[in-house]
């Protein structure tokens, strides 16, 4: 019996869920500027860009504004709709025009190569005047 339990525990630790999510804001939230964004990741570690480029269990966050996730392996652009947090930041404040917006959290490796849809999460928010 102990062997079965040990095998289950080892299997569960190997199959740790890897995902990103927003701590805030929550999906459907109505917010005012500046919008506080808190990002989190499970099953991987946050490290600054440029470090451990071959480590596929680490990376950093990107916040995509009104655009969907980036395909796996594609480098995430750096512009006003693709915000990089290459220092390993997990929170920020942003300003958006009033109205409906989609925020997508995208995790990527040390070279800004996306881990794809499996490591992204999108929410919709409404920015009030």
According to the model, what pLDDT value does residue 10 have?
56
Confirm if 39 and 91 have CB atoms less than 8 A apart: yes
According to the model, what pLDDT value does residue 129 have?
93
Is 51 part of a structural domain of the chain?
Answer: yes
The 10s digit of each residue's pLDDT in 19-53 is 999 999 999 999 999 999 999 999 999 999 988 78
Q: Taking the model in full, what pTM does it have?
A: 0.86
Is 105 part of a structural domain of the chain?
Answer: yes
pLDDT band at residue 55 under the 50/70/90 scheme? confident
According to the model, what pLDDT value does residue 8 have?
56
Is 63 part of a structural domain of the chain?
Answer: yes
Give the domain CATH number at 45. Answer: 2.60.40.10
According to the model, what pLDDT value does residue 2 have?
64
The pLDDT of residue 112 is above 90 = yes
What residue numbers bound the domain in which 58 lies? 17-127
More confident residue, 5 or 109: 109
Is 1 part of a structural domain of the chain?
Answer: no
Average of per-residue pLDDT values in the chain: 92
Element of type H or E holding 20: strand 19-24
Confirm if 123 and 106 have CB atoms less than 8 A apart: no
Report the C-alpha gap between 129 and 111 in whole angstroms.
Answer: 37
In the chain, the number of structural domains is 1
Residues with Cβ < 8 Å from 9, sequence gap 6 or more?
Answer: none
């Amino acid at each position: 019996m102990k062997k079965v339990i040990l095998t289950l525990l080892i299997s569960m630790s190997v199959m740790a869920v890897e995902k990103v999510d927003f701590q805030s804001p929550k999906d459907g939230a109505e917010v005012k500027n500046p919008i506080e964004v808190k990002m989190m990741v499970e099953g991987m570690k946050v490290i600054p860009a440029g470090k451990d480029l071959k480590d596929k269990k680490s990376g950093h966050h990107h916040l995509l504004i009104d655009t969907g996730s980036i395909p796996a392996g594609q480098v995430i652009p750096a512009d006003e709709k693709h915000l990089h947090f290459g220092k390993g930041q997990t929170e920020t404040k942003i300003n958006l025009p009033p109205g409906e917006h989609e925020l997508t959290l995208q995790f990527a490796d040390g070279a800004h190569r996306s881990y794809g849809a499996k490591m992204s999460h999108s929410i919709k928010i409404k920015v009030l005047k």
